[in-house]
Structure 1
Amino acid sequence: MQILQNLVEMTGHRDHLRLEVSVLSTLQQLPHVTYVRALELSEMPEGWVVRPRTWSEGGEMVTSGSDALADTQSQPLHSIAPLAEGIAQALSSFSHSYPGRRYVLWLPVWMHNKARTCVEITQSRPFSARRMEVLMSIFRVYQNYQSLLDYSERDALTGLLNRKTFEEQFIRFASLAANAPISLPELTGSSELPQQWLAVVDIDHFKQVNDRYGHLFGDEVLILVANLLRTSFRAQDRIFRFGGEEFVILLRSVTLQDAQQIFERFRRNVEAHPFPQIGQVTVSLGFSSTRLCSPVEIIGQSDQALYFAKQNGRNRVCHYESLLSEGNLGLKVAHEDIELF
């Protein structure tokens, strides 16, 4: 009966993180379960890493929140050999026994043929067939409901996050900026502190694509640009389709120099990509730091940088603060005067 009550509570959530906390709380209450956590798998320049996102501590569930604590606990995926092997084999569940009567079960959450999250359950005794049946039933309810949440947060055409999920994601990114800088491997060796960045992307001359080739080809361009966005950024970054040919990127914990290089790499990837029937497509991009401003102000700043890029040749990346310091922009647009897209 308690499990059923927990399942009712679990499916009442409309947020991935709260749903995660709820399912781990349910698993933690089962007999002989000593520890549970949700692991996030991310692809970094140095390889795949795994880090805790939610875990049990002192009978309570703890989440990484701003991710600062989780980053300090990051470790290479290959350092947990059974987990790395199970992910490589695309298994739906796998376990390993450790000395000291510690038995660990991993349940990856597979979406779009990729495992970005994994539930880890530790018991003081081996996993019996009956226990596995109970665990898998709870996990399937969780996975199915998570898929529904994921579907509601995605743009139907491109599969990217949609506009309505932006505010929640931005708040989490803003919490990163408010905390102490995260220690990450440097990409350039710069002594500059990592920050969070927001970029606005616009496909150049997209209206001409629709007018000349039709909306079916226009949709194909949007899908291909979305695919290039996915491959150009990391799992911990967030990419949104705001509507039309406009996209927004939340880039996490890199220096200004690295951010410039990452955005330039994406711009070049689009420029070099062959688009069927269309030929070459380019994008313009404006970006700004997310520190000390509201979402509407930061989008307004990035949008001003984007406008400058489009008015000065297109197919380029512009940084708002740099443009401002160089005198290339007028006075900042007031909060109430910003009109988004």
Structure 2
Amino acid sequence: MDSHLLSSSPMAAKSHTPILQHLVDITGHRDHSRLELSVVSALRQLMDIRRIRKLEFFTQDDTAYVRPHLLLEHDQVFAIDDNTSDHHCDLLSDYPELLQCIEQHTNSTQRVEPDGTDTLWLPVRLDNKIVSCIEITNDTVYSAQTVDVIHGIVEVYRNYQSLLDYSERDALTGLFNRKTFDEQFSRHARNAASLAPASAGGERRESSSPTQWLAVVDIDHFKQVNDRFGHVYGDEVLILVANLLRSSFRSNDRIFRFGGEEFVVLLRSAELESARSIFERFRQNIEEYDFPQVGRVTVSLGFTGTGHGAPVEILGHADQALYYAKQHGRNQVCYYEELMSGGDLQVADVAHNDVELF
């Protein structure tokens, strides 16, 4: 699009930053959340927008759902991890225009309300699969030129997100991979340390009620599945467990495949009993699921709070709880701090240079 065309339009008059600079900013991030916020910033500065939401899709019991994340409302930008709407889900059928757009494989659709409110939906595809959608709402109908600019910005976002996604995800399950965990959890641990309250002496101390949790999940007797049914069915079990992980946790939680039959979950913003209940519900979902050909499968899970300690220590604590669960019957959820206080585990004195995880 010619620069003089942009500069002569009312939309561009509002912007003091060239559109090319926004595209540079968008492609300058290696983190999905920052990428999304840079797209929101570009759209906000280039045109009038009342609200932007990211809609994430998931399926449970053969029913398609939408999980909305508020990114922008009335010129206020929201970080996706701070979004409080993660507990709220809508049926995809509540969005008939969007559903039709997905079924017809079109790039966008919109709805104009009787009061003039214009809602534009732009699905985001990865490997020909719809994974999310950008929803843009405005008080008045957008011109065709403005819609073209929105399409261009979102298309850059789609393409760049695909590149990031390819390097961050496990090829078999589509979950985040080990490398991504190393990067995200190290950053999470640094942020948690900087936000921890300081004591009178100035040193950081742990909050009395940690709200972030790390869980390590392992499929019980998975080697027997491969030996008895073959690796094709073993891979299918891994894929189905990954799908059950997605449907059992919220979209602002993070799920990783560590390799083999081991997964890691980073659970955000939950009190202890709520976290225990969420992990137990996932364990039950696995136990009750009928895996094709294989039948019943179970998992063991160990979890710990992330409020203190280096990443290697926190991961080690969750792994100790997992090991205890597997050594004491499997198919159960064990909490590291509870095992320690009950005398079931001993403090492992592991030097940082003894185990290299990061």
Aligned amino acid, residue 30 of structure 2: R
CA drift of 1:209 comes to 2.6
In the TM superposition, what is the alpha-carbon distance from 1:200 to its structure 2 partner?
0.3
Matched, 1:268 2:284: yes
1:42 Cα shift? 8.3
Find out whether 1:127 has 2:142 as its counterpart: yes
The alignment of Structure 1 onto Structure 2 pairs a total of residues equal to 317
Cα displacement (A) at 1:329:
0.5
Query: Aligned in 2, Cα 1:313/1:48: closer, same or farther, shift over 3 Å?
Result: same
SS of residue matched to 2:304: strand
Q: Classify 1:18/1:76 alpha carbon distance in 2 versus 1 (closer, same or farther; 3 Å).
A: closer
Change (3 A) 1:65 1:89: closer
Q: Does the 8 A contact of 1:300 with 1:333 survive in 2?
A: no
Whichever residue aligns with residue 177 of structure 2, its letter is N
Distance change in 2, residues 1:264/1:126 (3 Å): closer
**Cα root mean square deviation, aligned:** 3.7
Which amino acid is the alignment partner of residue 71 of structure 2?
R
> TM-score normalized by structure 2?
0.73
Task: Please state how far the C-alpha of 1:95 moved relative to its aligned partner.
Answer: 4.3
1:185 is aligned to none
* Structure 1 residues 216 and 4: CA distance shift in structure 2, 3 A: same
Q: How does 1:225-264 map to 2 (within 5 A)?
A: 225-264=241-280
C-alpha deviation, 1:131, in angstroms: 2.1
Q: Find the residue that maps to 1:332 and give its secondary structure.
A: coil
Answer yes or no: is the 8 Å Cα contact 1:36–1:122 preserved in 2: yes
- The aligned counterpart of 2:330 is 314
Equivalent pairs: percent with the same residue? 53
- For the pair 1:13 / 2:29, whether they are aligned, the reply is yes
Q: Secondary structure at the match of 2:268?
A: strand
Q: Deviations over 1:203-233 (max 9, x none)?
A: 1222233334332232222112212212222
CA distance in 1: counterparts of 2:290 and 2:88, whole angstroms = 35
Q: Which residue of 2 aligns with 1:324?
A: 340
2:172 corresponds to:
157
- Once residues 210 and 149 of structure 1 are traced to their aligned partners in structure 2, the CA distance between those partners, rounded to angstroms, is 32
**8 Å Cα contact 2:55-2:135 kept in structure 1:** no
Deviates more, 1:47-56 or 1:160-169: 47-56
Identify the structure with the greater strand proportion.
1
Report the alpha carbon displacement of residue 55 of structure 1 after superposing the two structures with TM.
Answer: 6.5
Deviation at 1:275, TM superposition (A): 2.9
Distance in 2 (alpha carbons) for counterparts of 1:296 and 1:164: 14
Q: Following the alignment from structure 1 to structure 2, what is the Cα–Cα distance between the partners of residues 23 and 301? A: 38
- CA–CA distance in structure 1, aligned partners of residues 309 and 72 of structure 2: 28
Asked if 1:52 corresponds to 2:67, the answer is: no
Q: Which AA in structure 1 matches 2:170?
A: D
Q: Structure 1 CA distance, aligned partners of 2:186 and 2:101?
A: 33
Instruction: Give the conservation status (yes or no) of the 8 Å contact 2:70–2:80.
Output: no
Residue 93 (structure 1) aligns with: 109
Cα 1:5–1:208 change in 2 (3 A) is same
Q: Verify: 1:297 aligned to 2:317, yes or no.
A: no
Where structure 2 has 5 or more consecutive residues not aligned to the other structure, the ranges are: 4-17, 59-64, 103-107, 197-207
CA contact (8 A) 2:69 2:80 kept: no
Note if contact 1:285-1:317 (Cα within 8 Å) is conserved in structure 2.
Answer: yes
TM-score normalised by length of structure 1: 0.77
Match for residue 27 of structure 1 among 30, 40, 43: 43
